[in-house]
Structure 1
Amino acid sequence: MTKRVSWLNKRLEFLHGEIVDWQNITISVVALLLLLGVLLPLLQWGFWGAVWSGDVAQCHSNGACWIYIEKNVRHLLYGLYPKEASWRMDFLALLVSCQLLLIWQVKTNQVRILFALILAWVMPVLTYYLCYGGILGLQVVPPQYWGGLLMNFIFSAYSIATAFFIGGLLALIRQKNWGIYSALVKIFIDLMRGLPLVSLLFFATLVLPYFFFDYHGSSKIVRLYWVFTLFGSAYMSEAIRGGLQSVSQGQREAAQVLGLSEYQSMISVVMPQALQIALPSIMNLVVALFKDSTLLSTIAVLDVVGMMQATSSRVEWMPYAVEGYLFVGFVFWLSCYGLSAVSASVEKKIKVYR
């Protein structure tokens, strides 16, 4: 309370001394009026005058038609996946969420690494066979029916987890200066970072089929997965390499004095510090790659954006595509905000500040 009174006294002294920048005050008032002029009509359209339930015939041009979300929510979540088999997607999303929660909350690094390895290398294979079916009496669902928001979430989680391990390996190889191997890694990283992700996705869709056998018409999603993963690993490796370079040579020398081998020193001393230093950059890449998963819609994959565009192309929903884009934008903003909050929490725990 004392601090608040002191602050108020200082403000009053400031105004009493007529040390007032009227130009800034005028600009602030004008900006506030402009904001209200934009915000109030938007609130009127999106909330007060919106139609929240009922039939599409009740929608009008003076308000948002959120009935579009209500009627198409299943397609936006699952794509064209059969309703009777949608429990598979629910199960996988729950399983991935539990693994991510354990990786975040568990304090033992060995356990975290174990769950991360499962997420990166075991879960993609399990997901493919469970989603495709044909085993244990499960209905076969071709990959062209996979889609929706849950696909964005699962696809991104697996791809980012795998990219993290590949990126760490690439960073170590480039850091060690192992002759031709380091040179090849540098070429790969520069190539991936120099090409737009969209062009790589089109390459995976249109060019790679000439070189790989299309097993049951399903290798498209596999090709996209690996191209997306390798693209992310190139950026991930540079973030981790920056962390490795920030660890002082004295840390390595201290580990050698304690009798640790070069491998033990890297795993137990250098890499944990490097990851702590690189955490903000890594989390920034996680957010960016999660948002980039919406680019799958450009190559006819029915992710949440693709399904939104498909459903809004129907005659009755054509006037309400804006509501679909707003819904998708809000979901991704909320997800990215949650990732940022998790990152801030982790940084606070390990005392790494930007």
Structure 2
Amino acid sequence: MTNPQFLWLRKNLFSNWYNSLLSVVCFAFLVWLARGIFIWTTTQAQWAVVEVNLRLFLVGRFPQSLYWRIWIVLAIASTLAAVTWGIFSHKQRFSKPKIVIFILFFCFLLVVLPLDFTSRLWLLFNAVLLSLGLWLGRKFTKLIAPLLSLIWLLSFPIILWLIGGGFGLQSVSSNLWNGLLLTLLMAIVSILLSFPIGVLLALGRTSNLPIIRWFCILYIEIIRGLPLIGILFLAQVMLPLFLPIDLRLDRIMRAITGLILFSAAYMAENVRGGLQSISRGQIEAAKALGLNSLLMLTLIVLPQALRAVIPAIVGQFIGLFKDTSLLSLVGLVELTGIARSILAQPQFIGRYAEVYLFIGLIYWIFCYLMSLASKRLERQLSN
């Protein structure tokens, strides 16, 4: 009996002489490229720039004596993420290889990362919470699932309180929120706020009221016609001019405002595409059942529209997360900005490849996780 893998190779890579030649040439090129990358990574690259400045990459100038608050934030976020993952994967069984890979991954982090003993204990504690959250999400799916959105919503002010302080905790200036911490914070806040605004703009663009419809159309078309960096500069310079004299937003809030205004316009068009996919017959059937406009939107139209455009919405979230790298151009020291500061250190001048490969890996990990979550959500909703 012929091996299926052999048949696939023969059909797709070696079906004729020129496909076979092209496959061999591409394979040889990939081997040469992988060999060069491996040699450079293991013998030529100076990874000390990452090892010495790991704390700066992750939390910037956040006071070292208050790192325990960051670890608690990580524990809350990882536990809730694990619970969410467990709820969406409760129908699937985890194989032993996946469990072994999970254990080996955290063992690798404990050994390789240049952390002190206290940080290693915190990392181990987070690994335990991840496992516990995954078990809770899978075991008590029916109990936790209806409350999951509310739990996430309540956790957010707690996270901001732990990072910024106040109400009994030592205050930490937003100027000290740097590195990956600032990148994640700004991306999450912008995503959470731009999504409902985008939905409202999409609904407004399809409204029968001319004033609302034309306002939404003008907003969407004007914002989509401007580059993000221009909107960020306008938010930093002109936004204070429209606010009362006694109200002053710091640079982080102004940057978040610019990201929200920009992303909401693109989100609106993604949602509008989903709204157009809903047949007129379903809307008429909902009206025939006596549903008012609000119930029709929340129960019939929006669930189907949003499910149809999940890939586009997640793609917008991924783009917004990567767009936070532009914040370094307006004076914010996020992940890309902290990389520039590290490259200015005399002992690491010229280490561009190592630094940007490291932050590129960080961006890729979070973008891949969002893509993976969207696929799992699509699969769950299609069942």
Hey, what does 1:197 align to over in structure 2? Answer: 228
Aligned partner (choices 222, 231, 249) of residue 253 of structure 2: 222
Give yes or no for the alignment of 1:286 onto 2:309.
Answer: no
Aligned-residue offset at 1:34: 2.5
Aligned partner (choices 209, 218, 223) of residue 187 of structure 1: 218
**Alpha-carbon distance in structure 2 between the residues aligned to 1:348 and 1:95:** 26
Alpha-carbon displacement from aligned partner over 1:63-116 (angstroms, at most 9, x marks no partner): 111121111111111111111123333333443444555566377886455456
CA 10–152 in structure 1, closer or farther in 2 if over 3 Å, else same: closer
SS in 2 for 1:319: coil
**Alpha-carbon distance in structure 1 between the residues aligned to 2:236 and 2:38:** 42
State the TM-score, normalized to the length of structure 2. Answer: 0.76
Between 77-86 and 32-41, report the one with greater CA deviation.
32-41
Give yes or no for the alignment of 1:235 onto 2:216.
Answer: no
**Alpha-carbon distance in structure 2 between the residues aligned to 1:154 and 1:233:** 18
**Alpha-carbon distance in structure 2 between the residues aligned to 1:302 and 1:186:** 34
Hey, what does 1:206 align to over in structure 2? Answer: 237
Between 308-317 and 82-91, report the one with greater CA deviation.
82-91
Asked whether the 8 Å contact 2:251–2:332 carries over to 1, the reply is no
Hey, what does 2:135 align to over in structure 1? Answer: none
Hey, what does 1:92 align to over in structure 2? Answer: 73
Hey, what does 2:204 align to over in structure 1? Answer: 173
Aligned-residue offset at 1:156: 0.8
Aligned partner (choices 346, 349, 355) of residue 318 of structure 1: 349
Aligned partner (choices 171, 177, 188) of residue 140 of structure 1: 171
Hey, what does 1:303 align to over in structure 2? Answer: 334
Q: CA RMSD in A?
A: 2.9
Asked whether the 8 Å contact 1:69–1:324 carries over to 2, the reply is yes
Hey, what does 2:55 align to over in structure 1? Answer: 74
Hey, what does 1:24 align to over in structure 2? Answer: 19
Unaligned 5+ residue runs, structure 2?
89-140
Q: Quick one: which amino acid aligns to residue 34 of structure 1?
A: F
**Alpha-carbon distance in structure 1 between the residues aligned to 2:76 and 2:262:** 25
Hey, what does 1:272 align to over in structure 2? Answer: 303
Aligned-residue offset at 1:347: 1.1
Asked whether the 8 Å contact 1:305–1:328 carries over to 2, the reply is yes
Give yes or no for the alignment of 1:39 onto 2:34.
Answer: yes
Hey, what does 2:276 align to over in structure 1? Answer: 245
Aligned-residue offset at 1:214: 8.1
Q: Quick one: which amino acid aligns to residue 88 of structure 1?
A: R
**Alpha-carbon distance in structure 1 between the residues aligned to 2:183 and 2:276:** 33
Aligned-residue offset at 1:174: 1.2
**Alpha-carbon distance in structure 1 between the residues aligned to 2:41 and 2:170:** 41
Asked whether the 8 Å contact 1:131–1:141 carries over to 2, the reply is yes
Hey, what does 2:293 align to over in structure 1? Answer: 262
State the TM-score, normalized to the length of structure 1. Answer: 0.82
| Identical-residue share of aligned pairs (%) | 32
Structure label with greater radius of gyration = 1
**Alpha-carbon distance in structure 1 between the residues aligned to 2:297 and 2:238:** 39
Q: Quick one: which amino acid aligns to residue 18 of structure 2?
A: Q
Give yes or no for the alignment of 1:343 onto 2:338.
Answer: no
Between 99-108 and 240-249, report the one with greater CA deviation.
99-108
CA 181–126 in structure 1, closer or farther in 2 if over 3 Å, else same: farther
SS in 2 for 1:302: coil
Hey, what does 2:92 align to over in structure 1? Answer: none
Asked whether the 8 Å contact 2:224–2:262 carries over to 1, the reply is yes
SS in 2 for 1:45: helix
Higher RCO (CA-CA < 8 Å; seq separation 6+)? 2
Aligned-residue offset at 1:239: 0.8
Q: Quick one: which amino acid aligns to residue 91 of structure 1?
A: I
**Alpha-carbon distance in structure 2 between the residues aligned to 1:66 and 1:312:** 13
Aligned length: 326
**Alpha-carbon distance in structure 2 between the residues aligned to 1:93 and 1:79:** 16
CA 318–251 in structure 1, closer or farther in 2 if over 3 Å, else same: same
CA 8–218 in structure 1, closer or farther in 2 if over 3 Å, else same: closer
Aligned-residue offset at 1:270: 1.0
